Amino acid sequence: MNFKNKAVLITGASRGIGKAAAIAFASEGANVGVNYRSRTQEAEKTLSELSGHGHKLLQRDISVKEEAKALIDDFIKQYGKIDILVNNAGIAITHEVDQIDFEAWASAWENTLQTNLFAAANLSYLAAQHMIKSGGGNIINVSSRGAFRGEPDQPAYGASKAGLNALSQSLAKKLASHKIFVAVVAPGFTETDMATETLTPASKENMLKETPFYRMAKPEEVAHAILFLASEKAAYCSGTIIDVNGASYLRS
């Protein structure tokens, strides 16, 4: 895959899947905008690991719609175009319906949807306006197997990812005539800080037993799927959802 001189914006790219995707795109010649919210030290480390030149750190809290717009403005000012948007940023908040009060419940839903779904929708809209003018592009959204199997301890997370899947497929149909291709990668548990921070030893053991590989996905494996969907040869895959979950959850 060759992404030479492509302008790629990746949200939540200071660590985990976003970082792996940034490294992979850079290795293929892309100019990468590394978005992050607050982890400046980690973002700077990611930037230092990108091969080539022309990469930039873009600190914005995309859960705030004005900040999402500013992020796209910053990116366009830097690169003059946006070829590929990877909506990777996400949060997961434990909020068990039988364990917490209503205020905590409502807050978990608001914060999760704001970051995982509304921000992706806003950024997709803003990026699409530039892609339409420039003759096309790719939007890749990072979802989760939780969109299909349910997340009893984090229901807002599962719902936000299901919404992201539906958003992606709606945009894939609407934007195809503008040569904008939209697709989704749906990982299972991946060796990221966000995933491991939520796991107790017992829950990790149960999770590992879900897959015949008896391991988590590596961020690089998810990044490979992202790059495939962003490549020109995958254009007819627009609207698809690729599972990267080690056969831990199989859907018909």
**Region of poorest pLDDT, from 175-179, 203-207, 244-248:** 203-207
pLDDT, mean over the chain: 95
pLDDT for residue 136: 98
* 249 assigned to active site: no
pLDDT tens digit sequence for 87-136: 999 999 999 999 999 999 999 999 999 999 999 999 999 999 999 999 99
pLDDT at 71: 98
Multiple choice CATH, 7-242, 2.60.40.3500, 3.40.30.10, 3.40.50.720, 3.40.50.620? 3.40.50.720
What confidence score (pLDDT) does residue 194 get?
Answer: 67
**Among 79, 157, 214, 249, the one annotated catalytic:** 157
Q: What pLDDT does residue 193 have?
A: 74
Domain boundaries, the chain: 7-242
Ranges 2-6, 148-152, 194-198: which has the least confidence: 194-198
pLDDT higher than threshold 70 for residue 65:
yes
What tens digit of pLDDT does each residue of 179-216 get? Answer: 999 999 999 989 887 666 767 888 888 888 889 898 98
Which is nearest to 241 in space by CA: 3, 231, 251, 154? Answer: 251
Percent of the chain at pLDDT above 90? 89
Lowest mean per-residue pLDDT among 109-118, 154-163, 208-217, 229-238: 208-217
Q: What is the pLDDT of residue 252?
A: 81
pLDDT of residue 207: 81
Reference 37, options 63, 17, 55; nearest CA is 63
* 41 has pLDDT over 90: yes
SS3 labels along the chain:
CCCCCCEEEECCCCCHHHHHHHHHHHHCCCEEEEEECCCHHHHHHHHHCCCCCCCEEEECCCCCHHHHHHHHHHHHHHHCCCCEEEECCCCCCCCCCCCCCHHHHHHHHHHHHHHHHHHHHHHHHHHHHHHHHHCCEEEEEECCCHHHHCCCCCHHHHHHHHHHHHHHHHHHHHHHHHCEEEEEEEECCECCHHHHHCCCHHHHHHHHHCCCCCCCECHHHHHHHHHHHHCHHHHHHCCCEEEECCCCCCCC
Q: What is the mean pLDDT of residues 14-18?
A: 97
pLDDT over 70 at 229, yes or no:
yes
